[in-house]
Amino acid sequence: MTSIILDRALRARCDTFLHGHGPITPRLWMERMLAMPEIDLAGDEYNAGPGIDLLQGQVAELLGKPSTLFFHKAVVGQQAVLFAHRERTGRRLVAVHPKSHIAADESDAVERLSDIRLVRIGPDDAPFTLADLQGVKEPLAAVVVELPLRNAGFRTPSWEELVAIATWCRGQGIAFHLDGARLWETQPFYGRSLAEIAALADSLYVSLYKGLGAPGGALIAGEAAFLETLQPWRSRMGGNLYTAFPFVLGGLYGLRHFLPHMADYHAHAVALAEALATRDAPWAADRVMCNSFRLVWPVAAPALAAALARMAREQGVWCFGRVIPLPVRDHCFTEMVVGEATLAHEPGTIANRFARLLAAARG
Amino acid sequence: MTSIILDRALRARCDTFLHGHGPITPRLWMERMLAMPEIDLAGDEYNAGPGIDLLQGQVAELLGKPSTLFFHKAVVGQQAVLFAHRERTGRRLVAVHPKSHIAADESDAVERLSDIRLVRIGPDDAPFTLADLQGVKEPLAAVVVELPLRNAGFRTPSWEELVAIATWCRGQGIAFHLDGARLWETQPFYGRSLAEIAALADSLYVSLYKGLGAPGGALIAGEAAFLETLQPWRSRMGGNLYTAFPFVLGGLYGLRHFLPHMADYHAHAVALAEALATRDAPWAADRVMCNSFRLVWPVAAPALAAALARMAREQGVWCFGRVIPLPVRDHCFTEMVVGEATLAHEPGTIANRFARLLAAARG
């Protein structure tokens, strides 16, 4: 089940990109930032400055939350949230999904840097339900839901399920935290405002990179008094950057240039999944719940990786940098992320290309 | 003993700077980076990329160490070092100076994020000695020396003392780590090569900002196998940045443009301290051991702060952003940091200005 990572040098030589916003080079990032009016704001120092105020204020307003706090990295922001809930409640158990980033992708950070212990609930291939949560009989400090659950194929709970979980947590006096790494990207699927979704949670994380295309950065939203308790943790885990202006300017750029297109990305992803269903091509593993979905290829991973490398080399076209084997013979998957670069190509055209790619991989 | 912080908005309106490299605005930082040949290297992703390789390689060579590892922030790099020594030795005690950054300025990070406990040794106003260290009778995982000890007035042990500490640690099988936050700036005082200083330590941290003027960033140097054990800790504490190119490019810029002038900064600082000694002016609290020293003003802190603000407002001249009271009536201090901006002004001229400033503060 080890992924095959395609050679990055190949990507640098491509001129057509089907994936996400396409590659953003350091030069492009800087040129974009230099063209922003906010470039002439005083630089931030140690998490204070007019750019950070602007960013925090804009996101608080979008999410309808009293306050937000900037972090250079979500792993720090979300750990700070969990540590603060532990201090506040005296409890040290937190419920998460076994495939969530917190449980699966952060080198066991929260358990190695604190005495918090994770209770892993839910099946490997879908978000946990209220019933799963109610099966936990120990006192919880917090419950975390990741929107969407990337490692289960970008899947999210239904709106009703999400409301039920939030309501239950509130009733039990358990903090409910949303890992909204892809909240911007998921909002069009729910068809509710960002503020309606955010209102369900006591605290939530949103990302400045991924869909928003910044070089990095994150915000935690919630009550101002609660966010204040996160600040010492932010400092302890290296979040007191001397200056973070590239992340801050990048985030402001993303809110202005990418956020307004999230519904387009979702619609394009849905249309692509539909177009693929009419061809002898890979297929969307599930209902498309954001701008991204798992694409299942009925071919062995090394064969697909070889075909992708050939396409990049011979045609200058880049889509997937990673191919992941599936536990089914001659099947693998890739993650399809729709962004600005993808929008430049009709769903039918992409579907035809993927059909040809599958044929090439079959040899 | 609460510092008085001068209004930053005043600084933004100044056009003459006596302090450090002078203010670097986001625009200036980006323009500098865009003018570097390395801007067109492929961007780094998750701590890998040609810019990071270049930076790590250049610093390893300068320090004469087998390897270096990039961190976005020293608080993460140095904690990773201590955590790794704990894992390696099974010991959880680390000897540090009570005024060191690790003990005093990081919100008790290492003790709150791990079971490591700090043994604080040495007097408040000077580095600890080998004799102080030998007074610790419990088994140590590591000993940390900060070069120079900023909170004790930028003071460093003598070369002989430093060698003695390193030799003793080696004999005892205790890891010796140098917090070289200002190693570049201290090297001219020792008159030994960076590699000679670094050779004393099992591991050391050097900074990309401060003297090198980058927007942030740090490197840990040491044996490659040891540095590998730091990587999971780097990830846990938010060091796995999606991209860090502004810090990386800024570091490369600093090595090229500021590092060659460290001896000039030190000489200028020494000359300024000497010029001040001939006037009714503030005085250098100690022998000048790097580009920075404590300047003691025989006047109350609020009076000096008011005179500094007036100088900024009326003459557009900025030097100290912070005034710190001393536990002696009508005495306070500022930190004098000599950098590119300071070099533009003769020591005698600066001394005269400080003498006038003292007179103004006295009313």
Contact flag A30-B24 (C-beta cutoff 8 Å): no
Closest partner residue to B235 (CB to CB) among A107, A215, A246 is A107
A9 neighbourhood in chain B, CB within 8 Å: 42
Domains and CATH numbers, chain A: 4-21+260-362 (3.90.1150.10), 33-257 (3.40.640.10)
Share of chain B above pLDDT 70, in %: 100
Locate the chain B residue with the closest alpha carbon to A32: B30
Share of chain B above pLDDT 90, in %: 96
Taking the CA of residue A216 and the nearest CA in chain B, the distance in Å comes to 6
Burial class (CB in 10 A: 0-12, 13-18, 19+), A128: buried
* 3-state SS class at A309: helix
- d(C-alpha B133, C-alpha B126), whole Å: 14
Parallel, antiparallel or unpaired: strands B218-222 and A317-318 = unpaired
Mean pLDDT of B120-131: 96
Contact flag A106-B236 (C-beta cutoff 8 Å): yes
A111 neighbourhood in chain B, CB within 8 Å: none
Backbone angles phi, psi at B184, to 5 degrees: -55, -40
B108 neighbourhood in chain A, CB within 8 Å: 236
Contact flag A30-B8 (C-beta cutoff 8 Å): no
Taking the CA of residue A179 and the nearest CA in chain B, the distance in Å comes to 16
Q: Is the pLDDT of residue A106 over 90?
A: no
Backbone angles phi, psi at A40, to 5 degrees: -95, 10
pLDDT one-digit tens code per residue, A197-219: 999 999 999 999 999 999 999 99
Q: Is the pLDDT of residue A63 over 90?
A: yes
Name every residue whose Cβ is closer than 8 Å to that of residue B240 and which is 6 or more positions away in sequence.
A73, A75, B46, B47, B234
Is the ipTM reported for this complex over the cut 0.90?
yes
Backbone angles phi, psi at A177, to 5 degrees: -115, 135
* Mutation for testing the A interface, residue in B116, B237, B247, B318 having most A CBs under 10 Å: B237
Q: Is the pLDDT of residue B132 over 70?
A: yes
pLDDT grade, residue A94 (50/70/90)?
very high
Closest partner residue to B72 (CB to CB) among A12, A109, A238 is A238
DSSP secondary structure, B84-116, as one string: HHHHHHS--EEEE-TTSHHHHSSTTHHHHHSS-
Closest partner residue to A238 (CB to CB) among B24, B73, B114 is B73
Taking the CA of residue A171 and the nearest CA in chain B, the distance in Å comes to 31
Q: Is the pLDDT of residue B273 over 90?
A: yes
Window 67-106 of A, Cβ < 8 Å to B:
71-73, 75-76, 106
Count of CB atoms situated within 10 Å of the CB of A35: 9
Please name the residue that has the structure tokens 């009326």.
B314
B239 neighbourhood in chain A, CB within 8 Å: 73, 238
Mean pLDDT of B342-351: 98
pLDDT one-digit tens code per residue, B171-188: 999 999 999 999 999 999
Taking the CA of residue A108 and the nearest CA in chain B, the distance in Å comes to 7
Contact flag A113-B236 (C-beta cutoff 8 Å): yes
A30 part of contact set with chain B, CB < 8 Å: yes
- d(C-alpha B340, C-alpha B335), whole Å: 16
Distances (CA, A) of B21 to B6, B59, B189, B229: 18, 21, 20, 35
Between A and B, how many residue pairs show a Cβ–Cβ distance under 8 A? Answer: 133
Can you give the pLDDT at residue B1? Answer: 65
Can you give the pLDDT at residue A1? Answer: 66
Mean pLDDT of A331-343: 98
Contact flag B42-A243 (C-beta cutoff 8 Å): no
Can you give the pLDDT at residue B152? Answer: 94
Closest partner residue to A34 (CB to CB) among B27, B43, B114 is B27
Mean pLDDT of B244-266: 97
Q: What sign does the dihedral A270-A276-A281-A286 (CA atoms) show?
A: positive
- d(C-alpha B96, C-alpha B105), whole Å: 13
